[in-house]
Chain A
Amino acid sequence: SYVLTQPPSVSVAPGKTASITCGGNNIGSKNVHWYQQRPGQAPVVIIFYGSDRPSGIPERVSGSNSGNTATLTISSVEAGDEADYFCQVWDFDNDQPVFGGGTTLTVL
């Protein structure tokens, strides 16, 4: 089945930019979705179709996708951005959704 690879952790200072990657074979040809999961809460979609934001998600959250890597970028990072972040695609070969292993974002 299709595999998505994320770094286990990313650390960033407040006010800086965090980049979280999601690697997969030719992922640039797929629609990538990103979820934020704060401690003790359910995942919430924050980026869909690679770069679209649901209403209520700030513009400092953005996504890109090309080649074998999709990237979630959070600029002007705040303490409230500390969370786990997951990428997800639809694996059409096996007709199922696939999640990355998740990345814990730590704000220093």
Chain B
Amino acid sequence: QLQLHESGPGLVKPSETLSLTCTVSGDTVSSDDYYWGWIRQTPGKGLEWIGNIYSTGTTFYSPSLRGRATMFLDKSKNQFSLRLTSVTAADACLYFCARMSLAASWFDPWGRGTLVAVSS
């Protein structure tokens, strides 16, 4: 059964870099059939797509993040990761990783999410 599990520091200082990892089990991030994505959720503001990464390492990012996001794969560990630079209080929220089929445009399944706080 495919499962995704997010991990990260929980707390990041303002202006520093947030690093999150998604560990995949039951599938491989080397698959040619899927994108691997990050989505975040803020209370009252719903879901916001951050970006997708393909098995070749090709990445796609939301323009709203203005170049602060970087995603990469670690095929040896079957993981993909997100780095978000220059974080502010606006980046404090719940971060999900998820899979998206190349043949479709929805995310399934999702990880349980990891909560990130931003504070000095």
Contact = CB atoms under 8 A, between A and B. Distances in A.
Contact of B46 (A1, A44, A49, A101): A101
Interface stretch (B15-23, B73-81, B108-116): B108-116
Interface residues of A, number: 25
Interface residues of B, number: 21
A102 B107 contact: no
A42 B62 CA distance: 21
Interface of A: 1, 31, 33, 35, 41-45, 48-49, 54, 86, 88-90, 94-102
A44 B109 contact: yes
Contacts, number: 55
Contacts of B45: 101
Interface in B51-83: 60, 62-63
A57 B48 CA distance: 25
A96 B105 contact: no
A100 B46 CA distance: 7
